[in-house]
Amino acid sequence: MPQAHTPKPAPTHTPHVPLAAGLHPAVITVTGLNRPGVSAAFFAELARHGIQLLDVEQSDFRGRLSLAAYVGLAPKKLPQISAGLNTVLAPLEQTMTLELQELAVESRPRSTHVVVLLGQAINAMDLSEVAKILAKYDANIDRIRGISDYPVTGLELSVTVTDPSPGGARQIREALAARTMELDVDIAMERAGLLRRSKRLVCFDCDSTLITGEVIEMLAAYAGREAEVAAITERAMRGELDFEESLRERVAALAGLDAAVISKVAGAIELSPGARTTVRTLKRMGYTVAVVSGGFNQVLTGLAQELDLDYVRANELEIIDGKLTGKVLGKVVDRAAKAEFLAEFAAKEGLKMHQTVAVGDGANDIDMISAAGLGIAFNAKPALQKVADTAVNSPFLDEVLYMLGIPRDEIEEADLAAGTYRRVALES
């Protein structure tokens, strides 16, 4: 039944909000099945009593309405206001509470950070463990919203930490990262506010990030040396070998191959799940999208055009008389070069480095990941996960969008409007 709480003593200090003279702060909540006319009836009744609105929040959760208003009202009118609200809301089957506040307070918390949980399935245990860690460090959860139901489940927590200064949440980040591996969910933590929304450039590694395979191994298969090259690649990605030296050694294994194999390999490239959606969505939103690869320009040209990438940097295979010579031309795109290209792209776009995002999987991405405003390790080797801000341990590149705060419903709404919407059945 609709109800009103007993009035509390008037505040004895100056309110933090611009209350009109003679008014007292109060919170009114309305809950029930969401239906047309509830908001209209509610605000019409408030208007009839000359109530001042200080803050309002309304939401629909799977057909259930939640409407809350932080208001200023005359305490002596409380019985009439309560009775009036009951009269107009009861026929609409709504439950109402009205409570005077002891003190005028800031009604909407200014969260300092955002924590995102992503997983094939998120259980109550997962959220419980994250909440325990936040509570251990006196961090408060202000709001929770769902941001994805496909291809992973995603929850976004708006959080306030006790020390909002740069680095103040380091212990929380480390504790969450350690728990990630045990819970089998991906957990990202980032500063909230304009800093998070300012990201405008996303730079991807290519092999085993934007695409599923390693191009050089695909080429080596035509030379009958795939296993040998794959073993060298694995060691290089773990950081056990100098990348440039390992690349030159692997390219040497391609000497004598007909250049026609390049187009065959290019045609066999498979994008990582969600890559097309991710790039398309970022481009729609005005992001600059780049790829920096230890692979080869000749293979990536068609892919770059297909995805409408803004920048592509990769190595150039030497070809003479229609044959691969086993050499690369010019400077090798190594670990240091990747970070240099990221900075170059940012400068060309007039962006600061904190406005950049880098996504990669291997040790040769360490410098780029470290330099970016947000560094994401995608199914990465341990060497990269140690320095990344967060990690994606599912095969779905869509998680990058969710970590940027882009919800699935907005992605799909845009796809529906453009005729590009599709959901692929996921393996159970």
| Catalytically annotated residues | 205, 207
Query: For residues 111 and 196, is the Cβ–Cβ distance under 8 A?
Result: no
The whole-angstrom separation of Cα 47 and Cα 69 is 13
Q: Would you say how long the chain is, in residues?
A: 428
In the β-sheet with 94-100, what is the strand arrangement from edge to edge? 3-4, 94-100, 24-33, 64-73, 52-61
The H or E element spanning position 203 is strand 201-204
The whole-angstrom separation of Cα 158 and Cα 97 is 26
Structure token digits, residue 292: 């920096």
The whole-angstrom separation of Cα 298 and Cα 266 is 8
Structure token digits, residue 76: 């002596």
In the β-sheet with 356-360, what is the strand arrangement from edge to edge? 323-329, 311-320, 288-296, 201-204, 356-360, 374-378, 390-392
User: Which of helix, strand or coil describes residue 239?
Assistant: coil
CB neighbourhood size of 191 (10 A): 19
Q: Please provide the DSSP assignment of 145-210 as one string.
A: EEEE-SSSEEEEEEEE-S--STTTTHHHHHHHHHHHHHHTSEEEEEE-THHHHT--EEEE-IIIII
Question: Which amino acid belongs to residue 141?
Answer: I
Question: Is the dihedral angle over the CA atoms 212, 357, 343, 347 positive or is it negative?
Answer: positive
The whole-angstrom separation of Cα 15 and Cα 309 is 53
